[in-house]
Amino acid sequence: MSDRQPTTDRGRIRIVGFDEATEQKRDSDASSDAADADGAAADQSIASRAATGIESTTASTSALAQPGRRLENAWRRFRRNRSAMAGLAVLIVMTVLAVFARPITVATAEVTVTLQPFSLAPSDPAAMFVGPPNASPSPAHPFGTDWAGRDQFSRVLVGGRYTLSIGLVAVGLALCVGVPLGAIAGYFGGWIDEAIMRVVDVLYAFPFLVLAIAIVPILEPVPILGSGYWTVVVALAVTGWVGYARLIRGEVLSVREREYVTAARALGVPDRTIIRRHVVPNAIAPVVVQATLNIGTVVLTAAALGFLGLGLEPGSAEWGAMLAQGRSSLLRGDWHVTVFPGLAIFLFVLAINLVGDGINDALEPNRDVDDDRRRMR
């Protein structure tokens, strides 16, 4: 078989007639020739099927058709994600419980304004000996009491305030620092980029918690930070911004090269406007995802600080601090003191992770969140 000469003269072959026949058939189709009618109809149906694909009607099909409604579409995708919605529900419940745990009042010298009068928690979290010390869970004290006879249930509810607000505020502050710095570094490049990124590299050399621990004694003597709450927040923000700066710089570097940015530059739009209007909005999605996931990290770190006895005043109803107090009770065999605050942290961090994964899938379905997680920590 192999000794055959290859066909070299195929360049001279031409088919005549097929095309003409095709044209004829088209014409006859148009005049709905009976013989060809069903064949033609079959073709149409095949064509229409190929065009529409297999229609599996879900909300997204119509939504995707409309451009410029990214957030709305993202929300739709998010809503269809059951785990993310479950996580969100947990977060909402925890927030409501924390807010309505005890009344919130704003006191000035003369007047006291009550912002929120409800009180879900049965007793003041700081009140001692509302029950016997180290009591096991009972109807009166569903989560038991700690060594000082304080009601654990009330303390866990109120403790959510620390955790939730520290997480939100610290991440918010870190974003305010990290996003502008990272965007500037990525957009302008050159020595500005070098300078900012070297600082980022240096801060990156220190583990999150170690740096926060080391900063606490520096911040504590600063008078305006007061009770220790802000010490913790600032310590976490100072250590947290580097991750966002790094992340958004990388995004900006790729967005910067897109046509619409070049076009805006060519039109003489000021750099500030370009960064604000064009670059950051297109680079922000992974940052939003990271920020959400980082609330979990920050909450864990804040709880660790509380657990180590750093930052907040001793005896605060913060979940980490409560766990630290529970350690000695635990060694005596009283398990309940540590179970409930720990469970609360666990639930919160779990929910944040579910929501973060959901936001990632909603904003950028093709991006793997674990890829970013390794760029942050």
Count other C-beta atoms under 10 Å from residue 216's C-beta.
18
Distances from the Cα of 232 to the Cα of 104, 121, 241, angstroms:
22, 25, 14
CA atoms within 13 A on the CB side of 81: 22
Q: In angstroms, rounded to a whole number, what is the distance separating the alpha carbons of residues 235 and 218?
A: 9
Q: Give the nearer residue to another protein in terms of CB position, either 82 or 258.
A: 82
Q: How far is the CB of 19 from another protein (least distance, A)?
A: 3
Q: In angstroms, rounded to a whole number, what is the distance separating the alpha carbons of residues 183 and 186?
A: 5
Non-local (6+) Cβ contacts of 140 within 8 A are: 131
Q: Give the nearer residue to another protein in terms of CB position, either 28 or 119.
A: 28
Q: Give the nearer residue to another protein in terms of CB position, either 123 or 134.
A: 134
Q: How many residues does the chain have?
A: 377
Q: What 8-state DSSP symbol labels residue 10?
A: G
Return the closest-CA partner of residue 99 out of 113, 116, 87, 112: 116
Q: How far is the CB of 225 from another protein (least distance, A)?
A: 11
Q: In angstroms, rounded to a whole number, what is the distance separating the alpha carbons of residues 90 and 108?
A: 34
Q: Is 115 exposed, middle or buried (0-12, 13-18, 19+ CB in 10 A)?
A: exposed
Q: Give the nearer residue to another protein in terms of CB position, either 47 or 127.
A: 47
- Residue 190, token pair as written in the block: 């050159």
Q: Cα 334 to chain center, whole Å?
A: 36
Q: How far is the CB of 250 from another protein (least distance, A)?
A: 14
Q: How far is the CB of 139 from another protein (least distance, A)?
A: 24
Q: Give the nearer residue to another protein in terms of CB position, either 53 or 117.
A: 53
Q: How far is the CB of 354 from another protein (least distance, A)?
A: 6
Q: In angstroms, rounded to a whole number, what is the distance separating the alpha carbons of residues 185 and 198?
A: 11
Q: Give the nearer residue to another protein in terms of CB position, either 268 or 365.
A: 365
Q: How far is the CB of 233 from another protein (least distance, A)?
A: 18
Return the closest-CA partner of residue 295 out of 255, 249, 243: 243
Q: Give the nearer residue to another protein in terms of CB position, either 198 or 276.
A: 198
Q: Give the nearer residue to another protein in terms of CB position, either 257 or 371.
A: 371
Provide the phi-psi class of 159: left if phi over 0, else alpha when psi is between -120 and 50, else beta.
Answer: alpha
Q: Give the nearer residue to another protein in terms of CB position, either 187 or 307.
A: 307
Q: In angstroms, rounded to a whole number, what is the distance separating the alpha carbons of residues 195 and 305?
A: 31
Q: How far is the CB of 305 from another protein (least distance, A)?
A: 10
Q: How far is the CB of 45 from another protein (least distance, A)?
A: 5
Output phi, psi for 124, to 5 deg: -65, 130
Q: How far is the CB of 361 from another protein (least distance, A)?
A: 5
